[in-house]
Structure 1
Amino acid sequence: MKSQAAYFNGLFSAGSKSNNQPPHQATNPFFAMVRKEVADQVHSWRFIILAGLILLTFLGSMYVSLTNISKAVSNINDPDRLYLYLKLLTTTDGSLPPFHIFIGFLGPLLGISLGFDAINSEQSGGTLIRLMAQPVYRDSVINAKFVASLIVITTLFLSLNLLMIGGGLIITGVSMEPSELMRILCFVILSVIYVSFWLNLSILLSVKFRQPATSALTAIAIWIFFTVFYQIIVNVIIKAFLPSPDVLSQDQLVAYNRIILTFLRFVPSQLYTDATTTLLMPSVRSLGPLTMEQMAGAIPSPLSVRESLLVVWPQVSGLIAATVVCFALSYYLFMRREIRT
């Protein structure tokens, strides 16, 4: 927050309006807090830096996609070649990863930066106890923190994808199919859910720890563990308890790979990558290994939006469940927390 006075001026002005207006026209303190939190986050340097970094990666990915889009749509062996706008999000020449890969890496940093000091900075600064002295419900505080950050994240991702759609219309002149629009909207919603998980995790750590530096370092340590070390640990454990893949039959090899994928899907970034790959590439039919008998007679053709959503529903439901659990824990701890000390 910029200052204590600026924060409480919005709440006090909301209260003064409610005294002069009828009850149905009174300003709700919750919405006053949401507006103030959105303004503070948008004007904060950490959000400006991360949003600028995401914008730069988006522009770089779009440039690579546009320079290679003609090769992608002319490849007759690619069943997704007719989905021009999905190709803008997935086409690459190897110099830069696609945009959804960047979001899988930078999204956690964005969520952590928006929530690691949501509560403990208020308490260490003395604004939380003053806020609770006003006619404001305690749960409105943490709800406003989450809703304001959610508004900022949704606006950012929706704006980037609308920019991609508008740029594609201007440069190529090709109209968008309704199925492409639905897939891009699903991609935006999924990206918001993914970043919201890390946002709620950082808010939970902000409630748990009293120092913002501690909550920030803990959240970054969790992110690094899942990004770098978790896959190494899983591979070491699997190789220690299971035989080498070189001596396995085809069915045993499929089961071996499924075990590894099952453990890797405890990582939120893996769930997000699987879901976005399926949504942005309609020809993807399965997220696990398939045997030759399962592939026999299969015709490579794109799936409908409904069928792709059915394929990725376990991943989407897992991300939603993890997000809800983190928010519920932070809500529970905050409602029972002593704020007078």
Structure 2
Amino acid sequence: MRPELIVAEKEFRDHLASKRFLAIFAILMLLSFYGVYSGMDAYNKRLDQYKNPGLVMDQPFMKEAVESLQKEIQDAEARGDSPESIQALKDQLSLLTNPPMPSVLEVFNSMVIFFTFLGMILGAAMGFDQISKERDEGTLKFLVSSPIYRDAIINGKAIGAIATLAVALAAAFLLAIAIVMFRGVVPGLDDMLRIAAFFVAALLYCTVFFAIAMMMSAITKSTSMSVICTVGLVVLLIVFSILALVVSGFIAQAIVGPAPPIDYGSLLNNSTGSANVSYIVSNSEYMNYTTRLVAMEFQISDAITTVSPVNDFGGLMGMGVGGIGNAILSKTPVQSFSLVATTSARQVSLLDSLASVWVKIFVLIVEMVVAFAVSYVAFMRMDVR
């Protein structure tokens, strides 16, 4: 057996027996169970609404929204707006009057947020003491003096940890699929392919944080310092995402310009004093301005935070909007950065979904490779005397 695999086997067994890993794994399984089970309830409700559209259309709010959109389409055609904008309004009206059949993939969408934060913790927890712990306990000197080259040690540690991550995620995904099938829903071939792609993306995301934590373990002099640096980096990424959203708001405001004037008398509902939804929807100038402003703000924030693994996988602030997970689990092209839903009935292939977020996938791969490369160089040059 190759030396790397010998080290990997030992690391794999050590991780599976680790109380730290078992605790995080238990939380992962519980959250997966809760997310999928609650997602199935939401899926069944949407399925009932799809089968009985009259139950939804009879609601006053829906009637008001449909009438407002119909009037907006008539006004847009009278003004001679572009065919694209008119078609977008018609697509929105079609979504309200003829909603598409819900997909079982929506159930797995609830797992995006869980994996975004718990996957980050799992990967970092497995990597922050990969090297520093061996150095603190004095076993690193024994390892490098054994008939195993240093590159086999560092590579074996990485292989063993990634294999453990794969087992943990596979268990969570199998649990989710079992719950879905137990509730009477059988995913189709395309659904299974997308779920498999989501699994690979989640594993890549966890591996990025493992690689970053392992890098900190290799370049710092103690486990405590490695923990501080790893936690500090995670906090920095979260703060960076928040600041990017704030800064993007100012930039978007400067690009789009000031808001159009609003008739505040019409904006308020005279009977209740609350916001008049009909006025907001029918006021095309204000609605178009708000849509452009929000879309511009989110797009700028998304571009700035491309360097953040959290935003790449989990989308804006890790909330599942516009990230890799959301793109893989969406069969229709969704413009995430919009004030209103603008999905279309046209379905896209898995390759098209991946192509829409290829930059984010590429960034995750680059971050993983760079972190592993720094760990490798630091370990090969480390003085263990």
* Match 1:270 to one of 298, 311, 319: 311
CA distance in 1, matches of 2:246, 2:41: 41
Structure 1 residues 87 and 30: CA distance shift in structure 2, 3 A: same
| One-letter code aligned to 1:267 | S
Equivalent position of 2:329 in the other structure: 280
CA contact (8 A) 2:151 2:376 kept: yes
Would the alpha carbon gap of residues 286 and 318 (structure 1) be closer, same or farther in structure 2, given more than 3 Å must change?
farther
Question: How far off is 1:179 after superposition?
Answer: 0.5
**Structure 2: where are the runs of 5+ without partners?**
51-94, 260-287, 315-322
Task: Tell me which residue corresponds to 1:12.
Answer: none
Aligned to 1:79: 100
Preserved contact between residue 286 and residue 311 of structure 1 (Cα < 8 Å): no
- In structure 2, relative to structure 1, the CA distance for the partners of 1:132 and 1:299 (3 Å cut) is closer
How big is the shift at 1:123? 1.4
Match of 1:308 in 2: 353
Match of 1:233 among 243, 246, 267: 243
2:222 aligns with 211
Q: Does the aligned pair in 2 maintain the 1:142–1:331 contact within 8 Å?
A: yes
Q: Aligned to 1:265, what secondary structure does the other structure show?
A: helix
Q: What is residue 146 of structure 2 aligned with on the other side?
A: 134
Structure 1 residue 61 corresponds to structure 2 residue 35: yes
Change beyond 3 A, Cα 1:304–1:74: farther
Residues of 2 paired with 1:155 and 1:223: CA distance? 24
Equivalent-residue separation in structure 1 for 2:46 and 2:7 (angstroms)? 47
Query: Offset at 1:113?
Result: 0.9
Contact 1:285 1:311 in 2 (8 A): no
The question of whether the paired residues in 2 share the 8 Å contact of 1:202 and 1:215 is answered with yes
RMSD: 2.5
CA-CA distance at 1:239 after TM superposition: 5.4
Maintained 8 Å contact 1:207/1:334: yes
How far did residue 165 of structure 1 move?
Answer: 1.6
TM-score w.r.t. the length of structure 2 is: 0.72
SS at match of 1:282: coil
Cα contact 2:115–2:202 (8 A) shared by 1: yes
Shift of 1:323: 0.8
The match for 1:317 among 358, 362, 365 is 362
Q: Deviations over 1:185-212 (max 9, x none)?
A: 0110000110101100000000011111
Report the CA distance shift for 1:110/1:299 in structure 2 as closer, same or farther (over 3 A): closer
Residues in 2 aligned to 1:45 and 1:80: alpha-carbon distance in whole angstroms: 44
| CA–CA separation in structure 2 for the residues paired with 1:331 and 1:269 | 24
Displacement of 1:322: 0.8
Gaps of 5+ in 1: 1-26, 91-97
Equivalent residues in 2 for 1:64-213 (5 A)? 64-76=38-50, 77=95, 78-79=99-100, 81=102, 83-84=103-104, 86-90=105-109, 98-172=110-184, 174-213=185-224
What amino acid is the match of 1:116?
Answer: F
Whole-angstrom distance in 1 between the partners of 2:326 and 2:120? 18
Highest RCO, 1 vs 2 (Cα 8 Å, sep ≥ 6): 2
Q: 1:221 to 1:176 in 2, by over 3 A?
A: same
Aligned mates of 2:42, 2:225 — CA distance in 1: 44
- Measured against aligned partners, the alpha-carbon deviations of 1:17-59 in whole angstroms (never above 9, x if no partner) come to xxxxxxxxxx333222111111111111110111111111111
- Report which of the two structures shows the higher radius of gyration computed on alpha carbons: 2
What is the rounded CA distance, in whole Å, between the counterparts of 2:362 and 2:100 in structure 1?
28
- Structure 1 residues 118-167: Cα deviation after superposition (integer angstroms, max 9, x where no partner): 01111121111111111101011111111111001111111221222223
For 1:241 and 1:301, how far apart are their aligned partners in 2? Answer: 33
2:37–2:179 contact (8 Å) kept in structure 1: no
CA distance, structure 2, for counterparts of residue 29 and residue 289 of structure 1: 52
